[in-house]
Amino acid sequence: MGTILFTIIFFPLVWEAISRWSGLPAFILPSPLEVWARFLRALADGSLLRHASVTLLEVLGGLAIGLSTATVLGYLLAKSRTLERLLAPYIVASQSIPVVAIAPLLVIWFGPGRLSKVLISSLIVFFPVLINTIVGVRSVPAELHDLMRSLRATRWQTFVKLEVPAALPVLLGGLKVGATLSVIGAVVGEFVGSEKGLGFLISLARGLYDTPLSYVVVFSLVAMALTLYGLVSLLEHRLLAWQGIENNR
């Protein structure tokens, strides 16, 4: 707790000091106080919340789609070597394409509205969750599969009582990474073509040389990503309580 407090106080102090001694104008390096004032103004006129809620919805949509497709496909790939051999080259190849490069295409195909942003976000969430699902499902010990078989468990019982709980720690690790990446995906989409959202607000601020506003948006994005990360950690804590029992001893 002490270190967190230190970080919170220390960082703005250093920043304030640099911005004063360097004598740079506010459109290059604004002081923390100027950014704070701009934050209050953006809050008061409602623009910040309006744009943030647009981005948040896209992010949540992207997470929902990315997470569901990646876990379903990941499970199938983990269970079938043939399917993996068939699809792996495409999946790996798709990962070598930077999202920034296909974002404009998606905006052309799916329009400048919410859908294209949701899809870009889900694309970026997809890969880490997919990989972790595969690793998680494959890491289930063979003895436990033998055990379930010797007890004549049905496929569904094996899935629910063995594979899901066994893969969950790894899967949640992937979701943590995915949650932070999902914000990047949505913003990249908004950058490319949009009239709403935090990504749009950044390009607007840049055009107006309203650098304090850019800072406000950047911090909002960080806050959003950290909140999502925190929520997944919380989920992890609750679902994996049995690991906590181990650690507390």
Residues that bind another protein (CB under 8 A): 141, 143-144, 146-153, 157, 161-162, 165-166, 240, 242, 245-246, 249
**DSSP helix/strand/coil, 101:** helix
Taken in order 209, 200, 69, 91, is the CA torsion positive or negative?
Answer: negative
Q: How far is the CB of 171 from another protein (least distance, A)?
A: 13
Q: Which is nearer to another protein, 60 or 235 (CB)?
A: 235
CB of 236 to another protein, least distance (A): 13
Q: Please say which residue, 58 or 163, places its beta carbon nearer to another protein.
A: 163
Q: Closest CB to another protein among 4 and 151?
A: 151
Torsion angle in degrees (nearest 10) through CA of 223, 224, 226, 230: 130
**Shortest Å, Cβ 244 to another protein:** 10
CB atoms within 10 A of CB 43: 12
With beta carbons less than 8 A apart as the criterion, state whether 158 and 145 touch.
yes
Please say which residue, 21 or 238, places its beta carbon nearer to another protein.
Answer: 238
Q: How far apart are CA 216 and CA 211, in angstroms?
A: 9
CB of 175 to another protein, least distance (A): 18
